[in-house]
Amino acid sequence: MLNSQSVSPHVRIGIEPDLDAIRRIFNEGIEDRVATLDDTPKSAAEMETWWDEHDERYSIFVAQDDSANVVGWASLNPYLHRCTYQGVADLSVYVSRDHRGTGVGSALLAALEKHAKERDFRKIVLFALASNANGQGLYRKLGYREVGVFREQGLLEGRLVDVMAMEKILRPFVLFVCRHNTGRSQMAEAFLRRYAGSALEVASAGTIAADKPDSGVVATMAELEIDISNARPKVLDAATMARADRIITMGCDVEGVPRIDDDWGLPDPKAQPPERVRKIRDMVNAKAEKLAKELLAIP
C-alpha cells in the first residue's frame, strides 16, 4: 500500500556499508513483483559484484529518512558496452515498501539526473514492468516519455509480461519561481519555450497554490499569439528544485527555496491595467530572449 505522507529524504552517494540496506530494498522489489523481472532474491555475493560494476560515473545514490535509515536507492548503469553509447545510461530505482509514494523516488531521480548531466550523459533510459502504473507515473512526472512496449518480454511467476521502455533527453533545466505562479513566471516559461524550443527544459512553479493564470496576463500574452489560458499554476516541490540547473525568481519574496541563481526583479502584473501588464510582459520577453541566447550560445 502506498504511503500518502510525504517526506523530505536526504540523498547522497552510496557507500559500501549501505549494501545490506540496498540488498534488502532490492529484494523487496523482487518479492513484490512490481519493479523487475528478477524472481530470485539477491545474495550478498551478487550485490558485491553489482557494486564493483559501478564507479564514479555510473554511481549509486541512497535516500535516508530522518533517522538516517536507508529507505531507497538508485543507480546509473551502462546501457550497452559500446563506445557509441557512452552518453546513454540505464536507470534503476527502488524504494522500501513503507516509503513508496512519499517522494523518495522523486528525490533519488532528481539527484541521479543532476549527476548524469555533470558526467556528460545526454540521455537516460529505463525499462519498467508495463503493469507498474505507479512507477510510470513517477517517471512521467519527471519528464520521461514512453518509447514503446515490448510485448511478452519476460516470464514472471509462470506468465508472460510486457515491459515498457522510457527515455529522457538531458537538457539544461530552467525553473522560474514566484509566489502564485499566475503571472510573471508563467510568462517567463512561455517566452523561454518560444525562444529555446526543445533545446532547454523549462518549467515554472509557485510557493503558494493558485487556481489559474491571471486573466490580464493571459490576454496580453494572447496578443503575441502565445496561449497560456490552459496553463495551470504548479506548487513548487523539492525534487523539481533539486533537478533545476538554474532557478530564477521574478522579484517577489519566496520561501523554502534553498538556492536562487538569479532574480529578475519584475513588478507584479496582477490587477494592473492592460498597458502596465504589456510593459511587464515586454520586460519578461526581453529577459527570456537574452537568457535563451546565453544558454544556447547564440551570438
Residue pLDDT, tens place only, 192-219: 999 999 999 999 999 987 889 999 999 9
Last residue of a domain, one of 154, 169, 184: 169
Last residue of a domain, one of 150, 169, 188: 169
Are both 158 and 188 inside the same structural domain?
Answer: no
Are both 182 and 291 inside the same structural domain?
Answer: yes
What is the C-alpha separation between 111 and 99, in angstroms, rounded? 18
pLDDT score of 297 more than 90: no
Are both 264 and 148 inside the same structural domain?
Answer: no
Are both 196 and 137 inside the same structural domain?
Answer: no
Range of the domain at 202: 173-295
Establish if 5 belongs to a structural domain: no
pLDDT band at 156 (very low <50, low <70, confident <90, very high): confident
pLDDT of 7: 59
Last residue of a domain, one of 139, 169, 199: 169
CATH number of the domain that residue 224 is part of: 3.40.50.2300
Are both 202 and 163 inside the same structural domain?
Answer: no
